[in-house]
Amino acid sequence: MAMGRPRSFDRDKALDEAMEVFWRHGYDGATLAELTKAMGIKPPSLYAAFGSKEGLLKAALDRYAQKRSQHMGYVLSGRTAREVAERMLLSIVESHTDPANPPGCLLVQGGLACGAGSENIPFELAARRAQTEAELRDRFVQAREEGDLPASADPAALARFLSSVIAGMGVMASSGSDREALREVAQVALQAFPEPPGRVPPAVS
């Protein structure tokens, strides 16, 4: 008897559900049973659509990046390097402590405690974080060329610093730190970004 075709499903909705499972439990902690239940599909449909659990994670990360692209446009359109950093950090404070989201950051949480057979996952997540860092670096290069940052500023180092702070805030949030604690970190981190002459720095709130 011929096998029936796998049941169709809403790919974007299924990926959103898979994303949350990976976010909450990490790659190794997300079981196939949890993933398929959340996605509303059977294992054969998962393998037919994504090839493997790792393929599903990569598709979920693509979906995550797609949803973040509009937000990064907002961040990078800040008028100054400091405003870019401020928008980035304050949005992290809000999103990482929003009860509607899993705590922390998918790009950090997803790769914690990966064991045998999933050694590639931390590198995949690091590559995704590097994309954001590269976007920040390019924006800080622009800021230096425009005189917003001093000629002595190192755009790559500033982007790496900001990325490290963001990753650390994700770990803090996943460990139970509240919004006020993350705001304090953001406020200290912003001191690395000078204000242009004549502009009063806004308060972090």
Contact 121, 111 (CB under 8 A): yes
Task: Copy the structure tokens of residue 8.
Answer: 């169709």
Neighbours of 104 (CB within 10 A): 24
Tokens of 95: 């999103």
> What's the whole-number mean pLDDT along residues 166-177?
88
In angstroms, the CA 114 to CA 103 distance is: 19
The answer on pLDDT for 164 being more than 70 is: yes
pLDDT in tens, 23-62: 888 888 889 999 999 999 999 999 999 999 889 988 988 8
**Contact between residue 21 and residue 30 where contact means Cβ atoms under 8 Å apart:** yes
The yes-or-no verdict on residue 184 having pLDDT over 90 is yes
pLDDT score of 5 more than 70: no
Q: Worst-scoring range by mean pLDDT, 77-81, 113-117, 144-148?
A: 113-117
Between CA 143 and CA 82 the distance in angstroms is 10
In this prediction, residue 68 carries a pLDDT of: 82
Query: 97 pLDDT band (50/70/90 cuts)?
Result: confident
Q: Which domains does the chain have, with CATH numbers?
A: 11-192 (1.10.357.10)
Whole-angstrom Cα distance, residue 182 to residue 4? 51
The three-class DSSP label of residue 61 is helix
Q: Average pLDDT of 85-107? A: 87
pTM: 0.77
**In whole angstroms, what is the distance from residue 172 CA to residue 92 CA?**
11
Look at residue 124 in the predicted model and tell me its pLDDT: 79
Query: Is 82 exposed, middle or buried, given 0-12, 13-18 or 19+ CB atoms closer than 10 A?
Result: buried
The residue-averaged pLDDT of 63-76 equals: 87
The token pair that represents 150 in the structure block: 């001093």
